[in-house]
Amino acid sequence: MKIKCPICGKREASEYTYIGDATVKRPDVNNTDEQSWFEYVFQRRNPRGDHEEHWQHTAACRSILKVKRNTVTHKISSVDLEGPWQGQGEENN
Ligand SMILES: [Zn+2]
């Protein structure tokens, strides 16, 4: 599997580190509901098909990327930078 970093170009997946599910949203800091925090910290889906994930290009620019990947075929449909550079990614061709 290859991932096209918006800064460095297309590189082998071994240069990247999987960080986690990009669809998980942190509860508001004032939220005292234990179940909400339990689900945020411990509960993860195991989707079949398209999924959004965070990866870091640890062997090069160290950018945090949001990768849209199919968990069955491993086809990557898009890669985008996270943080203030978000929205400057492109299709993963
Ligand atoms: Zn990079």
What pTM did the predictor assign? 0.81
Cα distances (angstroms) measured from residue 93 to each of 28, 31, 32, 49, 72: 37, 41, 44, 19, 18
* pLDDT on residue 41: 93
pLDDT at 11: 97
Distance 91 CA to ligand 1 centre (A): 15
Decide: helix, strand or coil at residue 81.
strand
pLDDT per residue as tens, the chain (93 positions): 999 999 999 999 999 999 999 999 999 999 999 999 999 999 998 999 999 999 999 999 999 999 999 999 999 999 999 976 666 655 665
> What spacing in Å lies between the alpha carbon of 7 and ligand 1's midpoint?
5
Q: Which option is the CATH number for 2-91: 3.30.2270.10, 2.30.130.10, 1.20.120.160, 3.30.1490.20?
A: 3.30.2270.10
Q: What is the pLDDT of residue 56?
A: 97
Largest Cα separation within the chain, whole Å, is 44
Instruction: Kindly give the distance from the C-alpha atom of residue 92 to the centroid of ligand 1, in angstroms, as a whole number.
Output: 13
Alpha carbon 89 to its chain's center: 13
